[in-house]
Amino acid sequence: MSMLPSLARVMQWGWWLAVAACCAWIIGSWVRRRMTSRALSEDEPRCARCGYIIVPGASSICPECGTDVRRGGLLTAFVRPPPPVTPWVALAALLTVPAAAWLTPPVAEWQPFGWEFTVEQVVNLPDVRGQVRWAPPIAIVSAAGNGRYGRRVPREVHVNTYVGAAFGDDPRLLVYPQDMRCLLRYGNSGDPQSGTFTRDVAAEVVRAAGFDPYTDAGRRAVEQLWQHVNRIAAGDFPPTPEAAWVVPLVDRRITYRLRDGARRAVGGVVWAVLFSLSLAPILWWRRRRKRRFVMRQSALIDGLGLRSPVPGGGG
């Protein structure tokens, strides 16, 4: 076992530290504002830059620091700039991370992008050879492709036979749905035979797997193979998705898988939406406080009747 903490653990700790830092920032700025507001009085406006008391009727130029207080601003206990918004924005960005992590799985499941499917259909082959087998002989028609909710057409349809022959000897068929061209391969050796997929090809698969395609059971197997390959090639799939962990050889199943990149992209989009939603009230509050501050400040400056600086004069 490694002594190093896992990446997830480190990120969790980092998240808590960042949340704590934001809270400390918010509390710290609140305490600082309380302290400065105690130092400020309502009757004695001070230069916002240096804190010098500006009396009514004085010059608008602060005698201490030379700032024009009409631009630099004045502060009283009542007229103060709003608290900083940055720690609130940072806190919103942090708190929406676990919310997004919680919401992402259902959203990812529901959204249509980035899906892959695998569809499988079992065809029972006639068990006529009277041998003891490890499993009944079957052919599996399978296909894979992209999509989930829209039109899904597989790239290729595969037929693999499992008849318990020596490894690699069971015939395999590959069908291209665009034009129904097919390749039939006998085991791993030799060149595949190519042609168009017909009932005769389906019969040849059954024959190559070691069964007579012209008995009743053989005819049924050929017909099933023919129909299932055509169905799957046309995008006619089982309607209900099966969980991937069920017994692998149910008759007919479709499984969907979301690509990892798509899952991450969904997570990012969910977070961005939650973050901008939480940003709206913060920015609205900030704008309100700022507007109120500007209004109070200009009323204060107007009420003081400050003299404009005399050009060239000494103040």
Binding region for Zn ion (CB under 5 A): 47, 49-50, 52, 62, 64-65
Q: Where are the beta strands (DSSP E) in 189-270?
A: 193-196, 252-258
CB 61 to Zn ion: min, Å: 9
Label the pairing between strands 46-47 and 252-258: unpaired
> Is 130 or 314 the residue whose CB approaches Zn ion more closely?
314
Secondary structure letter of residue 52 according to DSSP: P
Question: Which CB sits closer to Zn ion, 5 or 315?
Answer: 315
Give the shortest CB-308-to-Zn ion separation in angstroms.
Answer: 17
CB of 298 to Zn ion, least distance (A): 18
Q: Which is nearer to Zn ion, 71 or 291 (CB)?
A: 71
Tokens of 222: 């050929």
Residue 22 near residue 90 (C-beta atoms within 8 A)? yes
Determine the Cα–Cα distance for residues 134 and 1; give it in Å rounded to an integer: 41
Cβ atoms 100, 267 nearer than 8 A: yes
Helix (H, G, I), strand (E, B) or coil at 298: helix
3-state SS of 280-304? HHHHHHHHHHHHHHHHHHHHHHHHH
Whether 113 contacts 58, CB under 8 Å? no
Asked if residues 117 and 256 have their Cβ atoms less than 8 Å apart, the reply is: yes
Give the residue from 303, 311, 255, 314 showing the smallest Cα distance to 70.
303
The CA radius of gyration of the chain, in Å to the nearest whole number, is 38
CB 103, min distance to Zn ion, A = 51
As measured in angstroms, the least distance from the Cβ of 289 to Zn ion is: 24
Q: CB count, 10 Å around CB of 245?
A: 7
Of the pair 44, 109, the CB lying nearest Zn ion is at 44
Q: How far is the CB of 72 from Zn ion (least distance, A)?
A: 7
| Rounded least distance, CB 82 to Zn ion, Å | 21
Of the pair 24, 50, the CB lying nearest Zn ion is at: 50
Identity of the residue, 58 or 269, whose beta carbon is nearer to Zn ion in the bound complex: 58
